Amino acid sequence: MSHLAGRGIADITGEAAECGMLGYGKAGQRTTGIHTRLRARAFAFAEGTGPADRRLMLVVCDLPLISGGLVQEVVRRLPDGWTESNLMITATHTHCGPGGYFHHALYNSNTGGFRPKTYAAIVDGITEAAHAALDDLAPAELALSHGELHGASVNRSRRAFDRNPGHDRAYFPEAVDPHTTLLRITRGGELTGAVHWFPVHNTSMTNNNTLISSDNKGYAAYKWERLDHRTDYLAPGQPDLVTAFAQTNTGDMSPNLNLRPGSGPTDDEYENTRITGTRQQESATALLATAAPLTGPIDHRITHLGLSGTEVGPDFTGDGRAHRTGSPVGGAAALAGAWADGKGFAGFREGRNPVWDALSRRVIYALSPALRDAHAPKALVLPAGPLNRLRPMVQERVPVQLLRIGRLYLIGIPGEVTIVAGLRLRRTVAGIVGADLGEVLVASYSNGYFHYVTTPEEYDAQEYEGGSTLFGRWQLSALCQTAAALATAMRDGRPVRPGTPEPLPTAREHRRRTPSDEPHPGRSYGDVLSFARIGRQVTACFVAAHPANDLRRGDTYLAVERAEGETWTRYADDGDWSTTFRWARTGRGTSTATVTWTVPDGTPPGPYRLRYFGNSTDRGAFTGATEVFVVR
């Protein structure tokens, strides 16, 4: 069966200054600039001669999470025939991207509310990438390969993992999931696109970092596209090669191999990001040669599951009895954070929290046996369900999706699934559709967000992941039951009941006004305040304006320019690994922009300069440039 495939890429970078970052949930982690830009990479697929509904699109985004609002707005902007069923929008889960793009209040808690500029940048970029992929649809050869990657992840919740039955633990003898999958797209023998799946948290950058970063998975794509293939992201049109590094069951997989934030394989978070990203990219390129043709139909199903009070049949609970999920409640362990990737709030810890444990057991569970059956032994702290009635905090009706591309199946889950929970979902679907287990993947962080998914056994340990499994002990069982219904319908060629999507609540916008810009006394916008070159590092500080005046999506705040005769040519920009753009407020309306370039090995010798591009509230666009310096 022949296929059509198309690819597209676009910038989705939001506010680079004074916007809370999403992921770690730290109030003080607010953007102060850019290390690497964030991008959406879209891949459209269609059966060459099949019916119109036999098409689907996968969009992999350098984002912390996906909100339901993003999905709904992108669907509205796509041509007729594109729905939530055949569109999967998934996040790489970087923890160093600007937040404020959710309609549910919990995820805007450190941004001062909803941020329309960041939301628009993300929606516009995803839509742009999706339309580019549709415009690029053409006959293509698809191929699939699998491998293993070791030395890029560690189980950060081993105590919970070890509670699983022996036959589950035996499937992961090192307590990690090393399984890698590569979907290769070629035309006429030339590589044009690739999607690589591997489970590891995108948390090589710590919660002390305040520069926007796509983290290890973003670096993997950057290395393949930019460093190896010489892609210019700012050039008109679409590049020849688009590659994405997507997540699978990542819930308990950390890149911090020493089980400390920013530690492992080195003690430098930037170097760890580069190394872990490089290992994923090298894994992907090694799989190119072993990829086998991917043939077969394209198909899709989706349903919306109300997880607050779902009845789960005995076939899926593991104890032979029916149970119900509960309304969403965060546990004390959730507030402790995952210590391998970043500590949470003081006064909470993973495992036992005696005061909260006693309060839940002796009072709340004693008064409500139904709540006890759903949530025990969780120490209940954050009653998101009741709070939702006052102000929508978290999503309760969630999309569960199943996509098929030939023999590859993707289970779209809007949460963070641990490796054993993922194994059970994969076994459920594989057994019904008759697929090889290695070719059924969980696509975590897809189409929405409702926190973690653990096995009941892991849940009982109440580590961070269990405390963050909001709907209780039977949440995974409910998802397996739903996935089984989707898989059965797909196998039998039947539709499924779509369920009722959760209505999008009204978002409370960020109201704080940014002071009007003004230059430093006696200075003009773009003036160079300082310039230094120490070894391979060149740094300049400019009189700046607030970056939120123009997010420069698809553009850059800085340029490293090389003189070629009488012409200056851009050599690097703010999307490059070798540069950083840092903004700082120096007064009510005054600010500085610091541009740093670490000269990479192999840089062509010659004259260079640094430039800064800004937009002020009073004088519009401006630019500044340093003196010329020579790279030898």
Structure confidence by residue, pLDDT tens digits, 592-621: 999 999 999 999 999 999 999 999 999 999
DSSP string of 46-67, one letter each residue: EETTS-TTSEEEEEEESSS---
Residue 512 has pLDDT above 80, yes or no: no
Residue 377 included in any domain = no
Residue 342 included in any domain = no
Residue 54 has pLDDT above 70, yes or no: yes
The residue out of 467, 492, 517 marking a domain boundary is 492
Residue 514: band (very low, low, confident or very high) from pLDDT cuts 50, 70, 90: confident
Candidates 187, 144, 151; CA nearest to 287 is 144
| Per-residue model confidence as pLDDT tens digits over 458-493 | 999 999 999 999 999 999 999 999 999 999 999 999
Give the DSSP H or E segment for 79.
none
DSSP conformation class of 159: H
Q: Are residues 266 and 222 in the same domain?
A: yes
In this prediction, residues 390-404 reach a mean pLDDT of: 97
CA angle 357–359–360, rounded 5-degree value: 65
Is the pLDDT higher at 419 or at 26? 419
Question: Is the distance from CB of 261 to CB of 273 less than 8 angstroms?
Answer: no
Residue 158 included in any domain = yes
Instruction: Please report, rounded to a whole number, the percentage of residues in the chain having pLDDT higher than 90.
Output: 96
Cα distance between residue 626 and residue 608, in whole Å = 9
In this prediction, residues 263-280 reach a mean pLDDT of: 98
Q: Are residues 556 and 419 in the same domain?
A: no
Question: Is the distance from CB of 207 to CB of 261 less than 8 angstroms?
Answer: yes
DSSP string of 481-540, one letter each residue: HHHHHHHHHHHHT-------PPPPPPP-B--PPPPPP-PPTT--TT-EEEEEEETTEEEE
Residue 48 included in any domain = yes
In this prediction, residues 324-345 reach a mean pLDDT of: 95
Cα distance between residue 257 and residue 271, in whole Å = 13
| Per-residue model confidence as pLDDT tens digits over 292-313 | 999 999 999 999 999 999 999 9
Q: Are residues 488 and 533 in the same domain?
A: no
Q: Are residues 486 and 609 in the same domain?
A: no
Provide the number of structural domains found in the chain: 2
Q: Are residues 205 and 81 in the same domain?
A: yes
Indicate the average pLDDT of the chain.
97
Residue 365 included in any domain = no
**Helices and strands of the chain, counted as H and E runs:** 16, 34
The residue out of 439, 474, 492 marking a domain boundary is 492
| Neighbour count for residue 553 (Cβ, 10 Å) | 19
Q: Are residues 131 and 251 in the same domain?
A: yes
Q: Are residues 472 and 566 in the same domain?
A: no
Q: Are residues 404 and 453 in the same domain?
A: yes
Q: Are residues 165 and 233 in the same domain?
A: yes
Residue 331 included in any domain = no
Residue 569 has pLDDT above 70, yes or no: yes
pLDDT at 515: 84
pLDDT at 55: 96
Residue 50: band (very low, low, confident or very high) from pLDDT cuts 50, 70, 90: low
Window from 75-84, 446-455, 498-507, 523-532 with minimum mean pLDDT: 498-507
Q: Are residues 484 and 551 in the same domain?
A: no
| Per-residue model confidence as pLDDT tens digits over 99-153 | 999 999 999 999 999 999 999 999 999 999 999 999 999 999 999 999 999 999 9
Residue 51 has pLDDT above 80, yes or no: no
Domain that holds residue 443: 3-303+395-492
Q: Is 128 helix (H, G, I), strand (E, B) or coil?
A: helix
Q: Are residues 471 and 588 in the same domain?
A: no
Question: Is the distance from CB of 61 to CB of 22 less than 8 angstroms?
Answer: no
Residue 1 has pLDDT above 80, yes or no: no
Residue 513 included in any domain = no
CATH code, 550: 2.60.40.2300
pLDDT at 2: 86
Candidates 272, 275, 280, 271; CA nearest to 256 is 272
pLDDT at 260: 97
| Catalytically active residues, by annotation | 254
In this prediction, residues 446-469 reach a mean pLDDT of: 98
pLDDT at 94: 98
Question: Is the distance from CB of 256 to CB of 262 less than 8 angstroms?
Answer: yes
Residue 348 included in any domain = no
By CB atoms closer than 10 A (0-12, 13-18, 19+), residue 128 is buried
DSSP string of 267-307, one letter each residue: S-HHHHHHHHHHHHHHHHHHHGGGPEE--S-EEEEEEEEE-
Q: Given the DSSP bridges, would you call strands 629-631 and 606-616 parallel, antiparallel or unpaired? A: antiparallel
Six token digits for residue 582: 């840092």
pLDDT at 142: 98
Q: Are residues 538 and 486 in the same domain?
A: no
